[in-house]
Amino acid sequence: MSGARRVLLLHPLGADGRFWDDVLPHLDGIETITPDLPGHGAAPCLPAGAGIGDFADAVAGERAHVVGLSLGGLIAQELAARRPDLVDRLVLVASVAVYPEPMREMWRHRARVAREGALAELAEPMADMWFTEPSRPTPARIRERFVAMDPEGYARACEALETADTTRLAPAISSPTLIACGSSDLPPFIQAAHWLHEHIAESELTWLTGKHAAALERPAEFAAALRSFLAR
């Protein structure tokens, strides 16, 4: 593996560091860091009104290769653009630079639902969006953890996603970047993958088999692509 010796893996909204459990066995020999993002797992919430940049500050540490999926991908972009000294190679999975208005409204709606104590109502739609076969064991574990998370942590992360916009930061990213997206993901994510590839100078684009959580649907395939990229 070239450059940094460690890999920081940033999970998506509604998960925690255990999101990567199915991937880690395929990354043996690589030092991995899988933190809980603020408001997720055991990590405390950020203050109300915190944005993606605040999430990035919360996970900033030693120099590493940085992998981010969805929410994690936006955080990774912030890190790479604002703290290039901390990011060697960058991997953006199922990520965007900014959400289209219908999805921004979706984040506002989900924040309201979470605060009404109805987080469980969002579990099935999430699994259907993330997984081709949502009834399998891995999606079931993800749903269980999602329902158990702190509703306010989820709501504040939704609000950060609703206001997220890295369109001005992406062209400033100088790290070699791999952009990966599930070939069956929703159109906004597929379009965003192309946009990021066009606007991050030293980037390449690859397609994974699956939907939004293709990295978990085909962990060996994802890990192979990651290993190949980090080895250059």
User: What residue segments make up the domains of the chain, in order of their start?
Assistant: 6-230
Q: Which secondary-structure segment (H or E) carries 89?
A: strand 87-93
SS3 category, 140: helix
Taking the chain, what is the end-to-end CA distance rounded to the nearest angstrom?
Answer: 7
More confident residue, 106 or 5: 106
User: Can you tell me the distance from the alpha carbon of 154 to that of 46, in angstroms, rounded to the nearest whole number?
Assistant: 11
- Work out the pLDDT band at 183, boundaries 50, 70, 90: very high
DSSP strand pairing (177-182 vs 87-93): parallel
pLDDT digits (tens, 9 = 90+) for 85-117: 999 999 999 999 999 999 999 999 999 999 999
Give me the mean pLDDT over the 26-52 stretch.
97
Q: What is the pLDDT of residue 56?
A: 98
Q: What is the pLDDT of residue 135?
A: 75
Handedness of CA 214, 7, 145, 13 (dihedral sign): negative
pLDDT digits (tens, 9 = 90+) for 140-149: 999 999 999 9
CATH annotation of 6-230: 3.40.50.1820
Q: What is the pLDDT of residue 1?
A: 60
Is 111 within 8 Å of 159 (Cβ atoms)? yes
Per-position b or e across 180-203, b if 16+ CB within 10 A of its CB? bbbeebeeebbebbebbbebbeeb
Which residues are CB-contacts of 223 (< 8 A; sequence separation ≥ 6)?
Answer: 23, 26, 27
Q: What is the pLDDT of residue 136?
A: 84
205 pLDDT above the threshold of 70 = yes
User: Can you tell me the distance from the alpha carbon of 67 to that of 65, in angstroms, rounded to the nearest whole number?
Assistant: 7
Separation in Å, CA 118 to CA 87, 112, 122, 150: 37, 9, 8, 12
